Each structure stands twice: as structure tokens, then as C-alpha cells.
Amino acid sequence: MTKSPDENSLTLKSRMEHFCLEAVDKGILFSEAMEQFERCFIEEVLHRNNGNIIRTAAVLGIHRNTLSKKLGGKRG
């Protein structure tokens, strides 16, 4: 994930607030926002672990079977 120069200077809290404002403004449901955040977070950790499910699950603090279910065959 590549960040713009402006994103680098913002705090995590302010970036999350911006995401929340944008989601609410667009009428995105809470469940959809949570799914999007979870998917993005998992994909980033998976990428940083070169696709290794076991290491990714350990970093996320979840069981590898739970991670596999969350990925739902979307790896590739």
C-alpha cells in the first residue's frame, strides 16, 4: 500500500477519523466498513509475511484456521 505524502504526516487517529467520516458520508453500513478494514488489515499483514498463513496468523493473534476462513479462498 502506497501512501500519499499527506497521509504520511497524519496520525493513525486522524486517518481513521477521515475513513469514518467518508464511510458515513457515503452511507456505508458499519458491517461493510468493518469488513473492509479487516480485509485491508489482513491483506497488508499477509503481504508483509510473503503470503505465509501461519506467520500472518501469529502476527494477527488468531488461529491459522480462522485466518484461512477469513481469506475464504481469496488468496492468489
Measured CA to CA, the distance from residue 76 to residue 33 in angstroms comes to 23
Question: Which regions of the chain are under pLDDT 50?
Answer: 76
45-48: long-range pairs with CB below 8 Å, 24+: 46/71, 46/75
pLDDT at 76: 47
Domains of the chain: 12-71 (1.10.10)
pTM score, two decimals?
0.74
